[in-house]
Structure 1
Amino acid sequence: MDESTELPPASPVSVTPSPLSSAAVATATAPLSPREVRTVEQAKQIVEARGLSHVKVGLFDNDGVMRGKYMSREKFFASLDKGFAFCDVVLGWDVQDQQYDNTRYTGWHTGYPDAPVRILPHTCRDVPFEEGMLLFLAEFDGASEAVCPRALLRRVIQRCEQAGFAPFGALEYEFFVFDETPDSARAKGYRNLKPFTPGWFGYSMIRNSVHADLYHEILELAERMDFPIEGLHTETGPGVLEAAIAVDDVGAAADKAALFKTFMKVLAERRGLMATFMAKWSNDYPGQSGHIHLSLRNKKDNSSAFFAEGQPHSMSETQRHFLAGQQRLMPELLCMVAPTINSYRRMIPGFWAPTHATWGVENRTAALRVIPGSDKSQRQEYRLGAADANPYLALAVALGSGLYGVEQGWEPGKNVEGNAYAQEQPQELALPRTLWDAAQRLKQSQAARDLFGDAFVEHFAASREWEEREFRKHIGDWELQRYFEII
């Protein structure tokens, strides 16, 4: 289940005060806030103003896991100007730091050299747990861009903008919280874990009042780190919460989602708790979604590219084509949205996860949900997404496949009404049932190669084949031990 997410109103035009105004003087002397940083010089300025000897720099790997380090001020300033080097093994290993043996980009055959990385000044953020500390995101540069998840999404966004659209998105995450620590969970073999709260109690006012201090801390963290939460509530299941992150342009939405997942885990562990974003951690409870809301606006006049007053469900021709692209390509691109062995435990009938590439109007049993509205709120929801997906790749699929449909002029199939799980669907809409099968579909997809490039498709598909082979080496508790803390 999820909340509605509307687009924010268009930003007003800013007016620069005259050089003699008091506002200009105040602006010139007031210290920058992290979210005002846009340039290399401003990044240096805020670090100097805070007197920091070190800052944090992080990037995201294949699986959306944040990797990074503290960097001295001198090194950071030099890296802002010229970039820095980061071992490319983070693009060549799995969630347990085991190196792939089947990829071309990097591996034992290349010796794991350093790859160029650029720091992104506009991603500057406070780290609330470390007084005065700043965090900057980075992105692989040069040849490594071809397989870097964040760079991949950036290329899809550029393609969308070249087509005349500005894409907006928001993600919603369900996640379970446990009264455990990494040590206690390991000691128990990830069995018989104690949920933070008992029972099935969705939208509970009792739970969010009794534990208001935790909720307030989550909301405050989200505000300070600029992934503000539009809605936060209990979901159906013991200890499960759902957070809807506020809408933004798609690039910023991906950063916000990736940071939310990382720092929600940090906050939980600092409180002696654990949060997991596994797609499905228990056979007894529903899986955990990572639903994606998307819309396009016309760059020429900032009007909605999806809204058409008077048309069925207020859908424009562009939205129909966009929907058709998402529907037709979903089976081919599935492993980028369902990237773990565990992802496929969630996609079973009756547990709020789609099993076919269906669409419906305000229908939460379909894989794609059209949400009629106004110029500001007309959008659609990619409901197939699970909480374990890399946000950059999930958004690249949801946006890229829709854009491909617009480019091709495709039309969607018939929408489903009622319970989509209980209805027969065409075979071409069936989703792969295993990670291995999904990886093969990705490798065979010409659309994927057109959208994402041969280098990425070959690299990511190989990484999913590796993941499936690792699974086949193990039985029983392997999934929980592998994914519980990290994904």
Structure 2
Amino acid sequence: MTTQAPTRESLLETIKETVEKKNVELLHMQFVDIEGILKHVTITAEQLDDAVEGKTMFDGSSVTGFTPINQSDLYLVPDLSTFAVLPWTEEEGYSEARFLCSVKKPNGDDFDGDPRNILKKTVERASDKGYSISVGPELEFFLFDTDEFGRPTMRTQDVGGYFEPSPKDDGEKVRLAIYKALKMMGFTVEASHHEVAVGQHEINFKYADALGSADAATTYKWVVKTVAKQFGLHATFMPKPLGGENGNGMHVNMSLFDNEKQTNSFYDESDQLALSKTAYQFIAGMLESVKDFVAVTNPLVNSYKRLVPGYEAPCYIAWSASNRSALVRIPATRGQGTRVEIRCPDPSANPYLAFAIIASAGLDGIDNELECPLSTDADIFSMNAEEIDARGIENLPTSLEAAIDCFEAGEIGAKTFGEHGFNEYISLKRGEWDEFRTSVHAWEIDAYQAKF
């Protein structure tokens, strides 16, 4: 049974009561650029009514992937459901709050380069088919010491391993502070633990609708970094900061719910795996397009240092109902909790774009009634190259360059992002790869300078 969402008027009334009660003086109007980097324009609480009406203007030409200088005026429209007082600003008689915003053109139309608007289009596509998209991401991060100037070093602050407690896990106190901040901002935190690598951590929050989950992932990354800094530490969601250690993943759990029946469309108790035809088609769509969207779910040069054998990160295109070496896994929970987990994404991805393109690929599988390939239940990591070839298991792209080539040649990117977002994303990532390609790196100096 679903509860009725609060009206815009009731939300605004509650926000105004909180602003008065908490003595909120400043409001941060937040949005993300094409890379998912959080931005904000700060206004005073006295401007709340104008802000709610979408009158907060900013220069879009100064934001990565947005507009040229001759079309630079853009407007922010806050999502009232994202209002939150910032716990670290609260002091006697003063506090600050934030909204996450969508971006509009001067004529009131959605700006098509706004990642939040891109995700909304995929949500609408699912809704037109009678579905709502549910997403639960799992974002890992590292904590590093900082130097006397506050810059990150490569020293981790603990020597803990998977699930180890203090005193080995010296990051436990930081995770507790992050948990408290997230809870005060409305999160439901479900688990918190030390991850496999030294200095690596994970805090999981409750799943939500696709847009709400992308908002939560964006907020989560900001809160983690902000709280870590208060401890003199630097939190990074870089995919592979330490060679020889596991990297940071962002496993994405996704379900479709039938809006009319209020049931999980991936569940069918009569099936051997208790999966529906819709679920199998969704999986097939993801596997069909993953090569073409991995440039979005794994967007950095560094992302492909994580997607290698030996560190639990999937690099082979296969699925299984239990096998964690497969790219797509079906966790054991069934019924309303039935979901598909894709394990290649990393937390440097823009959550709005990543969730949009994964869901779009799955919906393509349903639209085209794709047949799901056989599952791979054996441990792929233990197979040799001949066994992998014999099973017809393909590899993910092994570099950002190869991933961008697939993204540009495929159909899923342009279909999901639209012309503006698609072209801007390719331009950005081609430039990033070219800068990496033409730079001289420390490994080259160490390997070649003395030798040659």
Query: TM exceeds 0.5?
Result: yes
Distance in 2 between the 1:441 and 1:428 partners? Answer: 18
Q: Which residue of 1 aligns with 2:424?
A: 459
Give the alignment's Cα RMSD to 1 decimal: 2.6
Instruction: Provide the identity percentage.
Output: 23
Report the secondary structure of 2:41's partner residue. strand
Whether the 8 Å CA contact 2:178–2:223 is kept in 1: the answer is no
Distance in 2 between the 1:125 and 1:444 partners? Answer: 41
Report the secondary structure of 1:334's partner residue. helix
The equivalent position to 2:52 in structure 1, one of 80, 100, 107, is 80
Whether the 8 Å CA contact 1:195–1:238 is kept in 2: the answer is yes
Q: Which residue of 2 aligns with 1:23?
A: none
Q: Which amino acid aligns with 2:415?
A: D
Whether the 8 Å CA contact 1:208–1:215 is kept in 2: the answer is no
Q: Which residue of 2 aligns with 1:102?
A: none
Whether the 8 Å CA contact 2:140–2:201 is kept in 1: the answer is yes
Q: Which residue of 2 aligns with 1:485?
A: none
The equivalent position to 2:76 in structure 1, one of 99, 102, 117, is 117
Give the 5 Å matches for 1:187-336.
190=153, 193-199=154-160, 201-207=161-167, 212-336=172-296
Give the 5 Å matches for 1:341-380.
341-380=301-340
CA drift of 1:341 comes to 0.8
Whether the 8 Å CA contact 1:320–1:411 is kept in 2: the answer is yes
Describe the superposition over 1:211-261 as per-residue Cα deviations: whole angstroms up to 9, x where unpaired: 653332121111112233211111112111112221111111111111101
Report the secondary structure of 1:373's partner residue. coil
Describe the superposition over 1:75-128 as per-residue Cα deviations: whole angstroms up to 9, x where unpaired: 3421211432222135426xxxxxxxxxxx634xx3572222212211101200
Whether the 8 Å CA contact 1:322–1:405 is kept in 2: the answer is yes
CA drift of 1:268 comes to 0.2
Distance in 2 between the 1:181 and 1:272 partners? Answer: 9
Distance in 2 between the 1:167 and 1:106 partners? Answer: 30
Q: Which amino acid aligns with 1:78?
A: D
Q: Which amino acid aligns with 2:132?
A: A
Tell me whether 455-464 or 280-289 shows the greater mean CA deviation: 455-464
TM-score, structure 2 as length reference? 0.88
Whether the 8 Å CA contact 1:61–1:91 is kept in 2: the answer is yes
Distance in 1 between the 2:168 and 2:267 partners? Answer: 36
Q: Which residue of 2 aligns with 1:140?
A: 103
Describe the superposition over 1:346-401 as per-residue Cα deviations: whole angstroms up to 9, x where unpaired: 11112111223211111111110022432122111010111211111111122111
Distance in 2 between the 1:315 and 1:52 partners? Answer: 48
Check 1:468–1:82 CA distance in 2 against 1; reply closer, same or farther (3 A cut).
Answer: same
Structure 2 segments unaligned to the other structure (5+ residues): 444-452
How many aligned positions are there? 431
Report the secondary structure of 2:221's partner residue. helix
Q: Which residue of 2 aligns with 1:468?
A: 433
Report the secondary structure of 2:316's partner residue. coil
Check 1:350–1:393 CA distance in 2 against 1; reply closer, same or farther (3 A cut).
Answer: same
Q: Which amino acid aligns with 2:131?
A: F
CA drift of 1:41 comes to 5.1
Report the secondary structure of 1:129's partner residue. helix
Report the secondary structure of 1:205's partner residue. coil
Q: Which amino acid aligns with 2:407?
A: L
Structure 1 segments unaligned to the other structure (5+ residues): 1-9, 17-34, 94-104, 479-487
Q: Which amino acid aligns with 1:134?
A: A
Tell me whether 266-275 or 83-92 shows the greater mean CA deviation: 83-92
Whether the 8 Å CA contact 2:360–2:412 is kept in 1: the answer is no
Q: Which residue of 2 aligns with 1:175?
A: 141
Distance in 2 between the 1:420 and 1:433 partners? Answer: 17
Distance in 2 between the 1:372 and 1:179 partners? Answer: 38
Larger relative contact order, structure 1 or 2 (CA cutoff 8 Å, min sep 6): 1
